[in-house]
């Protein structure tokens, strides 16, 4: 039972960290030439770590928390995009990291691609074909941002292991 209590506590801390990172990303000014709402996806590092260390249910809980936060702070459309993107990327990262044991860099890229693909599906449902204009930029950004998030987690993992946050 102690192990489960630790997982729940770490999940809560990771959820809080994901919210802080999402909030900080929301404060970044738009970058000219990039699609509206394009962000580096730093909070995906948290869900990627949760998927790898705590397991899929806990990682999905973090993604649901992030999506709910987006609904509350930014409204229905951003909330829906965050929720769909977060759930899709979490599932993709869990599948790639835990089931195939591929690198964290590849895991990050797959998570970013899944996130943007889910967001594109929401955008297509809401706006029609206009969202297709963003596909090339979203693909490039997915690869770049996914590489960065995977690399950051790869660099942070030894520290997290020393703190015994991966012992589940």
Q: How does pLDDT run across 11-65, given as a tens digit for each residue?
A: 999 999 999 999 898 888 887 777 777 888 899 999 999 999 999 999 999 999 9
Q: How far apart are CA 144 and CA 11, in angstroms?
A: 27
Long-range Cβ contacts of 19-26 (<8 Å, 24+ apart): 19/43, 19/65, 19/66, 19/69, 21/45, 21/46, 22/66, 22/69, 22/70, 22/82, 23/73, 26/73, 26/74
Q: Is residue 168 part of a domain?
A: no
Q: Is residue 123 part of a domain?
A: yes
Q: Is residue 143 part of a domain?
A: yes
Tell me the per-residue pLDDT of 103-119, one tens digit each, with 9 for 90 and over.
999 999 999 999 999 99
Q: Is residue 144 part of a domain?
A: yes
| Count of structural domains within the chain | 1
Q: Which domain holds residue 19?
A: 2-162
Tell me the per-residue pLDDT of 150-160, one tens digit each, with 9 for 90 and over.
999 999 999 98
Q: Is residue 64 part of a domain?
A: yes
Tell me, what's the pLDDT at 101? 77
Q: How far apart are CA 100 and CA 12, in angstroms?
A: 27
Q: Is residue 167 part of a domain?
A: no
Q: What is the CATH number of the domain that holds 48?
A: 1.10.1760.20
Q: Is residue 108 part of a domain?
A: yes
Q: Is residue 9 part of a domain?
A: yes
């Amino acid at each position: 039972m102690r192990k489960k209590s630790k997982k729940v506590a770490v999940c809560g801390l990771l959820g809080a960290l994901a919210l802080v990172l999402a909030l900080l990303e929301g404060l970044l000014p738009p970058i000219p030439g990039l699609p509206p709402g394009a962000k580096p996806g730093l909070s995906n590092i948290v869900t990627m770590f949760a998927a790898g260390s705590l397991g899929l249910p806990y990682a999905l809980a973090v993604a649901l928390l992030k999506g709910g936060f987006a609904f509350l702070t930014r409204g229905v459309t951003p909330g829906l995009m965050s929720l769909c993107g977060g759930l899709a990327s979490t599932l993709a990262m869990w599948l790639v990291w835990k089931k195939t044991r591929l690198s964290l860099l590849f895991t990050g890229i797959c998570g970013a691609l899944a996130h943007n693909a889910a967001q594109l599906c929401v955008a297509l449902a809401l706006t029609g074909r206009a969202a297709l204009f963003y596909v090339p930029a979203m693909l490039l950004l997915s690869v770049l941002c996914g590489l960065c998030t995977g690399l950051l987690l790869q660099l942070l993992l030894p520290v997290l292991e020393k703190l015994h946050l991966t012992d589940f």
